[in-house]
Amino acid sequence: MIPTEWYWAVFVLVAAAVQTVRNAAQRSISGTAGVSGATQVRFLYGLPFAIVFFGLVVFIYGAPPMPDASYFAWVSFGAVLQISATAFLLAAMNDRNFAVAVAYSRTEPLQIAIFGLIVLGDSLTVLLVVAVVTATGGVIVLSWPKAGARVEPRPVVMGILSASCFALSAVGFRGAIQMVDAAFLPAATTTLVVAMALQAALTTLFMLARDRKGLRAVFSAWKVSLLAGFTGALASQLWFSAFALESAARVRTLGVIEILFAQIVSARMLRERASARELLGIVLVVMGVVLVLNA
């Protein structure tokens, strides 16, 4: 049996693995539906699964109390910023220094720690601060382009804006979850279904106005879209459940283990020896994960 105080860590580890599958499904869709369609899939096709999760939770726990208007403000804040974060990151894809943008987008845990402290009053111990800085540094080292790459201001700005929006969205979702007067699972699932409904509506309206061809492609590739939707909803359910139990900074810092998973299983790592820089990044990520689990 897993001690209850470690539930959040289990949720994060499983979410990171499930998210890897979702990313693969979204990448396969982006070839025909474009980046807008690939982004929309996780919300549009994820919403039915989020509704099923909510129904199961209501069956087990009963219906949670109706949240007030401020709750919906928190959810909307998180939902819109999550879409914006994805848009900033996708906008950098056309830049030849995209790797730099990705590296700066990995500053999310550090920014979450700051925003969580200011907005939600989440406590920051010295050990947690060290864990956040160490893990963030490791991920940046792993993501940074090879020597000789020219660093331009645009991808740097895009990466930082993306990280800021992701960080603020996590704070918004945790703030909303904390306002639901229910056990952690009903609180998390309620927030998930409300957020996904809003995100599905917003992204679909955008596609109808700007990219109907991509929208048709999303419906044509319904099998892969269903996979992306299910894994996206499941990963979000796990992230939100972790947010209900632990601070956003601790959750997202442990979440950087996803990039370590990717490094381990990638073909490049299997075919080539890791460089000194990559080894340093891996060591820093592992140190950060160990520290955050003990923070």
The length of the chain is 295
pLDDT of residue 54: 96
pLDDT of residue 97: 55
What would the DSSP string read from start to end of 7-57?
Answer: HHHHHHHHHHHHHHHHHHHHHHHHHHHHHHHHHHHHHHTHHHHHHHHHHHH
Q: What is the pLDDT of residues 75-110, one digit of tens each?
A: 999 999 998 887 777 666 555 555 566 667 778 888
Q: What is the pLDDT of residues 202-229, one digit of tens each?
A: 999 999 998 888 889 888 888 888 998 9
**What is the value of pTM for the model shown?**
0.87
Does the pLDDT value for residue 128 go beyond 90?
no
pLDDT of residue 292: 86
Say how many CA atoms lie within 13 Å of 41 toward its Cβ. 35
pLDDT of residue 239: 94
Q: Where are the domains of the chain?
A: 4-294
Average pLDDT over residues 169-196: 94
Report the alpha-carbon distance of residue 14 to residue 257 in Å, rounded: 11
Look up tokens 């918004």; give the residue. 172
pLDDT of residue 279: 77
pLDDT of residue 102: 62
